[in-house]
């Protein structure tokens, strides 16, 4: 695969992210903070937002599969895309439980592999999770201040 072919596929993936339903799903996903595998499962089956959860998680696992199979250059993918890290950072703490619940040891494998195969992937994941936790705490503090006012 050439760099031009990788770039073309990355741009196609970007265009897919701009589709109206996918944009809504991505916006919703950033407000989703599952605390257990059961929480994830309950949300996944929710008729209002379950499709959003399935859409976002399967989209990023599919994009990562393209990288893992060599259709997209891994370095270029990681240099131009960051959202997959945030998605995986939310799912990773639940991954073992979800895999057991689904009896699927390779669930979200491609996304995990892309993250962990990048230089300092595990460290970057941990930093992303810490950043997301601090952002959630700030948001909760702001909401508490608004409620008190």
Write down the pLDDT at residue 126: 97
Write down the pLDDT at residue 148: 80
**Sign of dihedral through CA atoms 139, 122, 107, 65?**
positive
- Contact between residue 10 and residue 81 where contact means Cβ atoms under 8 Å apart: yes
Write down the pLDDT at residue 18: 93
CA distance 73 to 84: 15
Query: Domain extents for the chain?
Result: 3-148
Q: What angle do CA 21, 61, 5 make, to 5 degrees?
A: 90
Q: Which residues of the chain have pLDDT under 70?
A: none
Could you tell me the CA-to-CA distances from 57 to 9, 51, 93 in Å, in that order? 19, 10, 14
Contacts of 119 (CB under 8 A, 6+ apart): none
Write down the pLDDT at residue 82: 92
Write down the pLDDT at residue 141: 78
- Contact between residue 97 and residue 36 where contact means Cβ atoms under 8 Å apart: yes
pTM: 0.89
């Amino acid at each position: 695969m050439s760099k031009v072919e990788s770039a073309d596929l990355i741009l196609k993936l970007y265009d897919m992210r701009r589709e109206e339903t996918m944009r809504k799903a991505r916006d919703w996903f950033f407000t989703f903070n599952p605390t257990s595998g059961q929480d994830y499962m309950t949300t996944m089956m929710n008729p209002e937002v379950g499709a959003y959860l399935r859409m976002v998680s399967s989209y990023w696992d599919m994009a990562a599969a393209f990288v893992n199979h060599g259709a997209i250059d891994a370095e270029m993918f990681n240099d131009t895309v960051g959202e997959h890290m945030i998605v995986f950072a939310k799912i990773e703490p639940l991954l073992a439980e979800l895999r057991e619940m689904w009896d699927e040891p390779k669930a979200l494998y491609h996304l995990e592999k892309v993250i962990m195969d990048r230089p300092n992937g595990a460290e970057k994941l941990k930093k992303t999770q810490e950043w997301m936790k601090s952002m959630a705490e700030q948001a909760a503090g702001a909401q508490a201040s608004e409620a008190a006012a």
